[in-house]
Structure 1
Amino acid sequence: MNDKVVLFDRPAPHVARLRINRPDKRNAIDHAVRQGFIEHLLALQDDAEVRAIVLGGVEGVFSAGGDIPSMLGLDEAQARERMRHIHVLCRLVAGARVPVVSAMEGVTAGAAVGLALLGDRIVIGRGARVLFPFLKLGLAPDWGQLLTLPRRVGLPVARCLLSDGEPVRGDEALRIGLADVMCEDAEVMDRAVALAGTLAQLPTEAFARMKQRLNQPAASLDDELQREETDQAVCLLGEDFQEGYAAFRDKRAADFIARPGAKR
Structure 2
Amino acid sequence: MGANASASVVLLDHPAPHVARLRINRPDKRNAIDQAVRQGFVDHLTVLLADPQVRALVLGGVEGVFSAGGDIPSMVGLSKAQARERMQHIHGLCRMVAHARIPVVSAMEGVTAGAAVGLALLGDRIVIGRGARVLFPFLKLGLAPDWGQLLTLPRRVGLPVARRLLSDGQAVDGEEAVRLGLADAVHDDADVMVGAVALAASLARLPGEAFARMKQRLHHPSATLDEELQREEADQAVCLTGEDFREGYDAFMTKRSADFIGRPGAAR
TM-score greater than 0.5 by the shorter chain:
yes
Ranges of 4+ aligned residues in structure 1 off by more than 3 Å: none
Q: Larger relative contact order (C-alpha < 8 A, sep ≥ 6)?
A: 1
SS in 2 for 1:101: strand
* Contact kept in structure 1, 2:250 and 2:265, CA below 8 Å: no
Map 1:201-240 to 2 at 5 A.
201-240=205-244
Offset of 1:219 from its aligned partner? 1.1
Matched residue, 1:32: 36
Query: Which deviations, in whole Å up to 9, do the C-alpha atoms of 1:54-109 show, x marking residues without a partner?
Result: 00000000000000000000011100010000000000000011000000000000
Offset of 1:3 from its aligned partner? 2.3
The question of 1:171 aligning with 2:175 is answered yes
Of 199, 202, 209, the residue aligned with 1:198 is 202
Count of residues in correspondence between the two structures: 262
Offset of 1:184 from its aligned partner? 0.2
Task: List gaps (5 residues or longer) in structure 1.
Answer: none
TM-score by length of 1: 0.98
| Identity level (%) | 79
Of 178, 191, 196, the residue aligned with 1:187 is 191
Of 143, 148, 151, the residue aligned with 1:144 is 148
SS in 1 for 2:8: coil
* Contact kept in structure 1, 2:59 and 2:107, CA below 8 Å: yes
Matched residue, 2:9: 5
Matched residue, 1:97: 101
SS in 2 for 1:168: coil
For 2:160 and 2:252, locate their aligned partners in 1 and report how far apart those are by CA, in whole Å: 42
SS in 2 for 1:11: strand
The question of 1:129 aligning with 2:133 is answered yes
Offset of 1:48 from its aligned partner? 1.8
Matched residue, 1:19: 23
Over aligned residues, Cα RMSD in angstroms? 1.1
For 1:200 and 1:147, locate their aligned partners in 2 and report how far apart those are by CA, in whole Å: 26
Matched residue, 2:72: 68
